[in-house]
Structure 1
């Protein structure tokens, strides 16, 4: 038994673990490695290993014996080859976790199709005002020729002669610990419970085909970056009459050169010259839909915010719109005549100072972005 891992290591718990800790770890690992959920090649063997470890450590008597002697030699009946399932099988565990109601899962029952996810990138204003568009997605759909049963038209699948349609095989062994049942997916029918002798020529027995499907999508006004749109029934097709899955569209919104968004509010930055800030003015501000007049009071300081009520983003759930917040930045003049310089010296009673080139570049960039906003870029 040198190749057998320690049961505590298998479940990822310490030797002083409580019964609740053991059960919690087992349920997590059994769900992770269950062959009906995990399609990796070694999932079945890992599931068996986890189940065997739990069956020993969850029983006080077996756990005590294991703590004293470790793994018992298989010739003396400790598990019949290391893969024994103590009193239950894959179907029983799957039903316990996924709502099977205590009975075995019918391998021929209708099966819901998989959900799909599609990432869509939209422009800033498209997210604000919404749009209708069309996308193309690859997805598997129910085969129109065989209607999903995988059989050639005029024929139908037959019950597997090995498992009698149950999709499972059982191996029973008597051991010193009691009667053990090893239940696994039927190797003859791969757990489907059916054998297709004459396969459909379109889907080759799969019951599904891969197609490129065009779907019309409506992006609601006010949608934000990271939002999801659920389209019921637009995922992959189901099997044996099962419903199709859903399509989830994840929205990614491009940034805007002039506007920034926070929730339903819009923010922008506009430049003012020294005279406008000192004496006051009325300036034109671009919004998402139009140009509006904004009154600047005399003595306005750089960094001051003004609010344009109702000029923000339409509320996605509810009525009305957010607001637009306008931040003003005072632009320092850099090209002055000698007369202008003298007047400023007289006004401020200060000596000449050189302007900050970096600030000037920042203000110039504000002008450029504002020009684009006026053009509707």
Structure 2
């Protein structure tokens, strides 16, 4: 379920070292556990550190750009080993070849041609099995679909035409998460060579009501001026489709955020995200005679001035 390191830092793949460092510093300050007390902040902080440690190192970044999340399984001297294999040697200890798979999409727009890269190291076609390449496609989901999870039928177009897959979406799936379909990737080379895997990267679609940050859900909550002034208990819809109750403290203003613990996206180990309701004070578009009379009376007796600092 690893996220792309460039997405983690929020930088393009063309970003230089300075851009990567600036993005890291901003995110590290934002998610440092000593500053951010959100339960998810520590995991986010670790994710940001891992992404920076790879992308700030030119050699690791080059391997990551070419091989994706499998880059740690590739020896640091793989280029020298390829050269040695091209010159007649095996290049790999034991002559067996690496037990890794290589993504054909999603990393710099270039695929990895396994036969061009390692063919000479395996002693030619037929003498060994070359696993098929992993492949990746996007899986769009609504917020509600990501919340509930469940089985979905996905149709993807490929070289051999359209193929249909039955996909189990875990409840509480987050944007950027990957779902693995074992053996549904590229075909292997050689007799009985295993196929690669197909990874579906989740893309949660924009929602008119909910905004997601990890497993936390943000929603705007309209309230009347008297509910904000006097306090009230009002309903708010959650991504589950159910309605929760939130207490608006007396004297609340627009922009105040109210937290409903555990009402966000489901977590894999029972630790759900939170729902944050942001207050928006709404006034009647048309006042009745009585409402206008009361408003004018309030304006006459109140000394409150919101523009006074």
TM-score range relative to shorter protein = 0.5 to 0.7
Per the alignment, residue 282 of structure 2 pairs with 331
- SS in structure 1 at match of 2:264: coil
Residue 246 (structure 2) aligned to one of 294, 304, 309: 294
The question of 1:241 aligning with 2:192 is answered yes
Residue 123 (structure 2) aligned to one of 106, 122, 136: 106
User: Quick one: structure 1 residues 98 and 304, their matched pair in 2 at CA, closer, same or farther if it must change by over 3 Å?
Assistant: farther
Per the alignment, residue 269 of structure 1 pairs with 220
- SS in structure 2 at match of 1:96: coil
Shift of 1:337: 4.2
User: Quick one: structure 1 residues 212 and 274, their matched pair in 2 at CA, closer, same or farther if it must change by over 3 Å?
Assistant: closer
User: Quick one: structure 1 residues 91 and 287, their matched pair in 2 at CA, closer, same or farther if it must change by over 3 Å?
Assistant: same
Maintained 8 Å contact 2:253/2:281: yes
Per the alignment, residue 203 of structure 1 pairs with none
Q: What TM-score, normalized to structure 1? A: 0.46
The question of 1:322 aligning with 2:265 is answered no
User: Quick one: structure 1 residues 115 and 336, their matched pair in 2 at CA, closer, same or farther if it must change by over 3 Å?
Assistant: same
Shift of 1:211: 6.5
Residue 219 (structure 1) aligned to one of 151, 154, 169: 169
Q: Deviations over 1:348-368 (max 9, x none)?
A: 2389xxxxxxxxxxxxxxxxx
CA distance in 2, matches of 1:320, 1:248: 25
Shift of 1:285: 1.6
Shift of 1:319: 1.7
What is the RMSD computed on CA atoms of the aligned residues?
3.5
Bigger-Rg structure (1/2): 1
Q: Which has the higher contact order (CA 8 A, sep 6+)?
A: 1
Residue 343 (structure 1) aligned to one of 288, 294, 304: 294
Per the alignment, residue 134 of structure 1 pairs with 153
Shift of 1:345: 3.0
Shift of 1:91: 4.7
Per the alignment, residue 231 of structure 2 pairs with 280
Paired positions, count = 200
Per the alignment, residue 253 of structure 1 pairs with 204
- SS in structure 1 at match of 2:227: helix
More helix per residue: 2
- SS in structure 2 at match of 1:260: strand
Shift of 1:101: 6.9
The question of 1:307 aligning with 2:259 is answered yes
The question of 1:96 aligning with 2:47 is answered no
Moved more, 285-294 or 97-106: 97-106
- SS in structure 2 at match of 1:327: strand
- SS in structure 2 at match of 1:349: helix
Per the alignment, residue 104 of structure 2 pairs with none
- SS in structure 2 at match of 1:215: strand
CA distance in 2, matches of 1:328, 1:288: 18
Structure 2 stretches lacking a partner, 5+ long = 1-57, 67-78, 98-119, 303-309
Structure 1 stretches lacking a partner, 5+ long = 1-23, 33-50, 55-86, 141-209, 352-377
Q: What TM-score, normalized to structure 2? A: 0.55
User: Quick one: structure 1 residues 91 and 130, their matched pair in 2 at CA, closer, same or farther if it must change by over 3 Å?
Assistant: farther
CA distance in 2, matches of 1:211, 1:337: 64
